[in-house]
Amino acid sequence: MSSARHVPVMLQRCLDLLAPALQGPDAVVVDCTLGLGGHSEALLANFPEVRLIGLDRDTAALDLSRERLAPYADRVSLVHAVYDELPEVLAELGIERVQGVLFDLGVSSMQLDEADRGFAYAQDAPLDMRMDQTRGVSAAEVLNTYPPGELVRILRAYGEEKQAKRIVSAVVKERAKEPFSGSARLVEVIRDALPQAVKRTGGNPAKRTFQALRIEVNGELEVLQRAIPAAVDALAVGGRIAVLSYHSLEDRLVKQVFAAGAADTAPPGMPVVPEEFQPRLKLLTRGAELPTEDEVAENRRAAPARFRGAERIREAVA
């Protein structure tokens, strides 16, 4: 896929939010979800002294971004890692604190556009869905081997799928005849399993099942639960974090971490809050900001995006 066609989601807002933290000569910014490198390229172009660390679990994304970011190679470190491995990556690079962190969560444009990765329900492809194709179980393995109760749990928890039992019942019946391997058959089974009234609303009826499988295959929510607090811990005082999430489960996790960091932790009733109980984060967005009509027109994949930002205002007190 050509990086020239790739439009990063809510790019200007990410740059504006991170800018005050990235003005110094020794500023380090981490793009925890490198993807095709669109956000990273803009950060390097707009902040000529900044050093960038880019993480991605997808080796194909790293190869493409390395090419795209070649003009800035002397200021870039690209690392094959999942974003909850940020503390280990920084330790390996000898970096104690960073000034900026960016997360653009969910599935990347490249993964959606490359049919053989199996992320998209609109075209037939092997049911893989692994962001890192060097390890882990595929979506086909999940569908073919998980007990029915576990599949129902995944569809409900990760896809917020109200018809989970009905879909899983159809999947179990079909996998007994022949294991699932391609996405088109799964889409067909889901479509046949759902009542007509459900199929008339909410877009492709397979959307929530595919989301749930992808989250399970890549452990996305468990990783995110570790990654956001780790990123906050890595920020220097005055450092900023920007997060783009694409469904309510991700956004809820980010909101919880930010809200906890922005609250004081003093026992109730204390007349004066001592330093060690003061908030360590300041929220920079009012709730989750949504993309504008122009941003969606420029990049339709921005439509479900939710944007949150925070600033580190105090060191943790041991």
pTM: 0.87
Quick one: 171 and 291 in the same domain?
no
Closest C-alpha among 213, 202, 212 to residue 194: 202
Number of domains, the chain: 2
pLDDT of 270: 76
Using alpha carbons, select from 32, 69, 56, 50 the residue that is nearest to residue 245.
32
Q: Which of 218, 252, 278 is the last residue of a domain?
A: 218
Annotated binding site: 37-39, 56, 83, 104, 111
User: How many other C-beta atoms are found inside a 10 Å radius of the C-beta of residue 162?
Assistant: 12
pLDDT of residue 116: 52
Query: What's 99's domain CATH number?
Result: 3.40.50.150
Please report whether residue 133 resides in a domain: yes
**Domain containing 230: what range?**
3-110+220-312
pLDDT on residue 4 = 44
CA nearest neighbour of 102 among 45, 156, 167, 56: 56
146 with 104, same domain? no
Same domain, 19 and 83: yes
> Which residues participate in the annotated binding site for S-adenosyl-L-methionine?
37-39, 56, 83, 104, 111
Return the pLDDT at 76: 98
Predicted local distance difference test score (pLDDT) of residue 154? 97
Quick one: 234 and 99 in the same domain? yes
Query: What residues of the chain score a pLDDT lower than 50?
Result: 1-4, 110-111, 113, 117-118
In a domain, 19, yes or no: yes
Do residues 15 and 97 share a domain?
yes
Examine the domain organization and report whether 86 and 156 are in the same domain. no
